[in-house]
Amino acid sequence: MSTEPRPTTAATAAEVAAMDRALELAARGPVHGPNPRVGCVLLAPDGTTLAEGWHRGAGSPHAEAAAVSEALARGTDLNGATAVVTLEPCAHTGRTGPCTRVLLDAGVTRVVVAVKDPDPVAAGGERVLLDAGVDVVTGVRSDQGEQLLRVWLRAVRQGRPFVTLKLATTLDGRVAASDGSSRWITSEPARRHAHAVRATVDALAVGTGTALIDDPELTARTTSGDLAAHQPLRVVVGRRELPVGARVHGAGGELVQLATHDVGEVLALLAAREVRHVLVEGGPTLAAAVLRAGVVDEVHAYVAPLLLGAGPSAVGDLGITSIVAALHLEVARVERLGPDVLVVATPRTDHRETHEPPGPGPSTLEES
């Protein structure tokens, strides 16, 4: 076969509509886990739908294999069919076999893709398909595909977990009163929302100071207070030992203690465990460390209409001494949660381009 890409036509109206459906199917997959959410629709040459599939999580059939299996179970002939897929079909054998082989063996002759796979291990599906004589069209509904996979794509492209920093503060930025009391600064609606977010991430991280002072369980709970079906890894960062009776040893996700002060090492260790999304919940020392390191991808700031005037702040010292060196954020959205407000923001890339990450030590933290 020629190694040159074969010319392809633009996506048809039926294929674009099928991609919209494939994106809906992909959204049914789990948000957490090492694998992306992917949907697939198989079309006959006349544009009618033959079968559908989506990826249900690590170890289960990929979307393409699920759709092909559905079609074959009904005795549907897939010779000359088109596969409309939200992510470039993989070309490697992992927990399951390569999707390119599944499609080729089924007789698929055209593949329409929203987003190309940036994973160096799994990528290359387009090349395999082209070399086999299959028409491939990419970039169909790419913006929607990128949005659906934004956390997974960022994690794969960066080679580290996507980092969300959670802050829960009073209006004057305090996370506790001067006597140490902090339950509860935010309202029940805000806490419910925070638990819902916990149930979507792969890991939940706090520093040893927070683990020792607040004695948190670090679990994701439903509105009824029960443990959610998915529990993230419970990560405690720092060198101090946790008491045997600490609540973090109770029911919930696996407890991982990382005896290091190096943020880069923490993220590398989590990446090695296939963590794609980590939620950093504090305290101030760990929050400052990840901000100093420039690894925060998104901030969730829950702000309660309270004033304390004194007490620990949400973020420790960033080494910023001038307003011109402030870390700038771009507000993505604002939500009302009962009496509280959630501000979701991302560090501004234009500011990162013109300023070094704040603070003299970009990737270490000190025990609080």
Token code pair at residue 82: 């088109």
Same domain membership, residue 148 and residue 173: no
Specify the CATH number for the domain of residue 126.
Answer: 3.40.140.10
* 336-355 confidence digits (pLDDT tens): 999 999 999 999 876 544 44
For 63-67, what is the mean pLDDT?
96
* Spatial distance between the Cα atoms of 202 and 208, rounded to a whole number of angstroms: 19
Token code pair at residue 64: 């393409």
Tell me what the pLDDT averaged over the chain comes to.
91
The reply to whether 212 falls in a domain is yes
Classify each residue of 323-339 as buried b or exposed e, where b means 16 or more C-beta atoms within 10 Å of its C-beta: eeeebebeeeeeeebee
Same domain membership, residue 233 and residue 209: yes
The reply to whether 361 falls in a domain is no
Which residues make beta-bridge pairs with 298? 164
Percent of the chain having pLDDT more than 90?
Answer: 84
Same domain membership, residue 267 and residue 317: yes
Q: Which positions are catalytic?
A: 64
The reply to whether 8 falls in a domain is no
Q: For position 22, what pLDDT does the model report?
A: 98
Same domain membership, residue 264 and residue 143: no
Whether the full predicted model's pTM is greater than 0.75, yes or no, is yes
Residue where a domain terminates, one of 124, 155, 186? 155
Least confident residue range of 6-20, 206-220, 260-274, 308-322: 6-20
* Number of domains into which the chain is organized: 2
The reply to whether 265 falls in a domain is yes
Structural domain containing residue 52: 13-155
The reply to whether 363 falls in a domain is no
Which residue blocks in the chain are alpha helix, DSSP H?
Answer: 13-26, 63-73, 99-106, 125-131, 142-148, 150-158, 188-198, 208-214, 263-272, 284-292, 349-354
Residue where a domain terminates, one of 140, 155, 170? 155
The reply to whether 3 falls in a domain is no
The reply to whether 365 falls in a domain is no
Going by C-alpha positions, the residue among 355, 32, 255 that lies closest to residue 164 is 32
Same domain membership, residue 186 and residue 307: yes
Q: For position 351, what pLDDT does the model report?
A: 53
* 232-256 confidence digits (pLDDT tens): 999 999 999 999 999 999 999 999 9
Same domain membership, residue 52 and residue 176: no
Query: In the predicted model, is pLDDT for residue 89 greater than 80?
Result: yes
Query: In the predicted model, is pLDDT for residue 13 greater than 80?
Result: yes
Using an 8 Å Cβ cutoff, are 192 and 223 in contact?
yes
Q: Which residue has the higher pLDDT, 309 or 5?
A: 309
Confidence of residue 93 (pLDDT cuts 50, 70, 90): confident
Using an 8 Å Cβ cutoff, are 212 and 182 in contact?
no
